[in-house]
Amino acid sequence: MNLPVRLLLIAILMTPPVGIQQASAQPDHAHLDSLAADAYTQVVQWRRHFHQYPELSNREFETAATVAEALRDMGLEVTTGIAHTGVVALLKGGKPGPLVALRADMDALPVTEQVELPFASNVTTEYQGKQVGVMHACGHDTHMAMLLGAARVLTAVRDELPGSVLFIFQPAEEGAPLGEEGGAELMLKEGLFERYRPQAVFGMHIGLNMPGGQLAVRPGPAMAAVDYLQINVAGRQTHGARPWGGIDPIVVGSQIVMGLQTIASRQLNLTKVPYIITIGKFDAGVRNNIIPDMAEMHGTIRSFDAAMQDDMHARIRSTAEHIAASAGASAEVNIIKQYPATVNDPALTAQMLPSLQRVSGEQPVVTPDLVTGAEDFAFFAREVPGVFVYLGAAAPGEQASELPSNHSPLFAVHEPNMALGVRAYVHLAVDYLAQH
């Protein structure tokens, strides 16, 4: 064997495989964890500030200003005013590569806080014509703080990143006020993913009655689609002592409520995924001895499969209209699609599961049950492959299933769990960039 050939073989043998080259190009995981630990005190401060000064959907003006200031202080390229109050920041890595997005939500709920904390919310505001308390009862204060912490860590290693990271702080996840647009859908409508087109998007939610400090992710459908349902029943008014003189929309409406329950329990294939139809509001009449001419019902529909969702809508209309017609009344059914189902891309979920397990350590990352709550992260995940991760909020030793759930005035978060959330955001972003 001549010398040039021998040297070529030696060079080939000494060249690490592609996967090892990619792994060595990314920041060291231990170093990332050390930076996350250094950021924890600031993460807690951010969280407590957001918690003490919450704002409702599409009204997150001071929240957005605080987020934008923190991101600018990190030297990031910041854009504000997307979908009213949304904030995005772009971190350009030092090496060429893809763009990955990390998302947190910003809005609070019209809930009066009952948790005794030195930084408890005392904020009140007007909501649908009423004075209400305002509280981060869904954990969005922690989501923002954790994502800001991740931005701080990733900014510290920006020169080593083989790609870029888009930080999305989204308003109105809980739903825009009546008559307004908002949330992820409006951010996309205003061109967010046209200006910045990520190859993947990751989100996180704390709480959901999971054990403290546990990570969970479910491939495929994970959270339900949600639709708003309104049914107006028109009868004919009469004296309560002479019901035969009119058509009672209260009785007809009651029959419709019961009939709707047979759609999920008797007409749909429950071996696939669950479906829920709930009537939460029933309004009719003004006096005890007058049968009114109208009854109005409001409800929510939850589903996980798009084809079955459309089938449910058709069956709801048919059930309500035919029950009403059988009594000589009429029913007008209005269904508004609000959020689609949150679907975790199966391939991306499998790809990133080792990253989550590394962050979780000895505690296994679990596959949770389907969640019948909804998330408008779903709009982002419909545009590009997405993964939505759950993080337990409970303190060590607490029974998560017995604790107040998200949206309760007693909902509380064990703050040290946020350290795990920061690391999860960071490792997902870094590992995705390195693998692509």
Tell me: the pLDDT tens digits for 294-318? 999 999 999 999 999 999 999 999 9
Q: Domains of the chain, with CATH numbers?
A: 27-223+341-435 (3.40.630.10), 225-339 (3.30.70.360)
Residues 6+ apart with CB under 8 A from 200: 98, 100, 101, 345, 348, 384, 385, 386, 387, 432
Percent of the chain with pLDDT over 90: 90
Burial, 321: exposed, middle or buried (Cβ in 10 Å; 0-12, 13-18, 19+)? Answer: middle
What is the C-alpha separation between 414 and 396, in angstroms, rounded?
Answer: 9
Q: What is the pLDDT of residues 228-271, one digit of tens each?
A: 999 999 999 999 999 999 999 999 999 999 999 999 899 998 88
pLDDT tier for residue 340 given thresholds of 50, 70 and 90: very high
| Integer CA distances (angstroms), 392 to 168, 204, 260, 403, in order | 22, 11, 35, 11
Q: Using one digit for the tens of pLDDT, what is the confidence trace for 109-118?
A: 999 999 999 9
Q: Tell me the C-alpha distance between 375 and 379, whole Å.
A: 9
Please write the tens of the pLDDT for every residue from 407-420. Answer: 999 999 999 999 99
Active site residues: 339, 415
How far is it, in rounded angstroms, from Cα 252 to Cα 235?
A: 8
- For helices 140-156 and 61-73, the axis angle rounded to 10 degrees is 20
Nearby residues of 432 by Cβ (< 8 Å), 6 or more positions away: 98, 100, 199, 200, 202, 351, 352
- Kindly state the tokens that stand for 287: 């006096």
Maximum separation of any 2 CA atoms in the chain, in Å: 112
pLDDT tens-digit series, residues 200-228: 999 999 999 999 999 999 999 999 999 99
* Phi and psi angles of residue 401, each rounded to the nearest 5 degrees, phi first: -65, -20
Give the pLDDT band (50/70/90) at residue 8.
very low
pLDDT above 70: residue 149:
yes
Distances (CA, A) of 251 to 27, 231, 284, 293: 67, 14, 11, 11
Could you report the per-residue pLDDT of 79-131, keeping only the tens digit for each?
A: 999 999 999 999 999 999 999 999 999 999 999 999 999 999 999 999 989 99
The neighbour count for residue 98, using CB atoms within 10 Å, is 17
Give the mean pLDDT of 153-170: 98
- Cα–Cα nearest to 148, from 174, 162, 169: 169
What's the pLDDT tens digit per position in 42-73?
999 999 999 999 999 999 999 999 999 999 99
Q: Give the separation between CA 188 and CA 380, rounded to whole angstroms.
A: 8
| Residue among 427, 409, 436, 380 at smallest CA distance from 112 | 409
> What is the pLDDT averaged over residues 402-406?
95
> Using CA atoms, how far apart are residues 403 and 383, in angstroms rounded to an integer?
35
Closest CA to 407 of 380, 381, 371, 377: 371
């408008």: which residue's tokens?
376
Is 0.75 topped by the overall pTM?
Answer: yes
Which positions ≥6 away from 188 have C-beta within 8 Å? 379, 380, 383
Cα–Cα distances (Å) from 306 to 124, 198, 231, 312, 341, in that order, read: 39, 25, 22, 10, 8
With the CA atoms of 215, 433, 144 and 216 taken in that order, what torsion angle do they form, in degrees rounded to the nearest 10?
-10
Q: Average pLDDT, stretch 333-350?
A: 97
pLDDT given at position 25: 56
Q: How many CB atoms lie within 10 A of CB 261?
A: 14
The amino acid at residue 42 is Q
pLDDT of 17 over the 60 cut: no
- Say if CB 233 and CB 295 are below 8 A apart: yes
Nearest Cα to 154, choosing from 141, 165, 169? Answer: 165
